Amino acid sequence: MSAILSPLHVYPVKSCAPLAPADAVVEALGLAHDRRWMVVDAAGRFMSARKWPRMLLVHAQPVDGGVAVDAPGTAPHVVRALADPAARCDVTVWGSTVSARRANPEADAWISGFLGTDAHFVHMDEAALRPVDLAYGRAGDRVSFADGFPLLLVSQAALDALNEKLAAPVPMLRFRPNLVVTGTDAHAEDTWRRVAIGGVAFDVVKPCTRCVLTTVDPARGEFDASGEPLRTLLTYRRGESGVTFGQNLIARGRGTLRPGDAVDVLEHVL
């Protein structure tokens, strides 16, 4: 069976809507433009669609010096990081504290108005350093504002197997992957230790633990009243670390990925 890279997904703002680019450059932090922006509360804590599901309705497109955002019922706006060195602030994402750059006040007013609460955009520039957990990575490995690792990969067969168990199928975007792979068995990625995609090598470092975010319908920005697909995943994908679905990756090279690239398994889990 030949594994092939299918859609690519880039999330310019953490917990907001994705892009599906025709290609994506692999950088140290993951795919270019992926989760380099984040929304935080007044205390600098990251805000997530886990609590604010309407965030999934915010679309962001990278532009020179920032991102252009739009959402239902709002006027489009361009978010730019402030140039003033004093505009840096410490923000927290899970257990990490990162020095990020604040955005223009008009952008903060835009996102606060849409979410109905005090909210602020922040940017991860070159000076914002967030290391990967050394239990899974190497010294010098870095990550963007993603939950913990630079990239997330899910096999299409895993989603197909899940949807066979559901009364109503769910889209892949419930799981917010960067890389979707076709032409494999369901959850084949659980057996991979190292892969190469488009000539770029990746370490497969940790299963992705799933949460209530999978129950948010990205098309509506609302929780699914059925509690699916998490309710069904609990019946067959629950392990010691919780419900897992997909694998986290760290790139060991640079290059450009495109849908249709071959996915070669370089090493399997023993």
- Do both 201 and 229 map to the same domain? yes
Residues 165 and 222 in one domain: yes
Beta carbons within 10 angstroms of residue 188's beta carbon: 19
pLDDT tens-digit map of 234-269:
999 999 999 999 999 999 999 999 999 999 999 999
- Residue 185 inside a domain? The answer is yes
Please check whether residues 25 and 41 belong to one and the same domain. Answer: no
Give the CA angle between residues 105, 218, 167 to the nearest 5°. 165
Give dist(CA 130, CA 38) in Å, integer. 14
Same domain membership, residue 201 and residue 155: yes
Residue 128 lies in a domain: no
213 and 176, same domain (yes or no): yes
> Could you tell me which of 175, 151, 158 has the C-alpha nearest to residue 56?
175
pLDDT in tens, 75-125: 999 999 999 988 999 999 999 999 999 999 999 999 999 999 999 999 999
If you average pLDDT over every residue of the chain, what do you get?
A: 97
Over residues 150-186, the pLDDT tens digits come to 999 999 999 999 999 999 999 999 999 999 999 999 9
Looking at the fold, whether 41 and 26 belong to one and the same domain comes out as no
Q: 224 and 253 in one domain? A: yes
Give the H or E element holding residue 268. strand 263-268
pLDDT of residue 1: 64
Q: What are the tens digits of pLDDT across the range 5-27?
A: 999 999 999 999 999 999 999 99
Same domain, 16 and 42: no
CATH classification at residue 13: 2.40.33.20
Beta partners for residue 30, in sequence order: 27
pLDDT at site 143: 98
Domain span at residue 259 reads 4-31+133-268
Same domain, 26 and 41: no
- Count of residues for the chain? 270
Are residues 99 and 232 located together in one domain of the fold? no
Q: What is the pTM of this model?
A: 0.96
| pLDDT the model gives residue 85 | 87
pLDDT in tens, 204-237: 999 999 999 999 999 999 999 999 999 999 999 9
Check whether residue 110 and residue 162 sit in a common domain.
no
Q: What is the pLDDT of residue 134?
A: 96
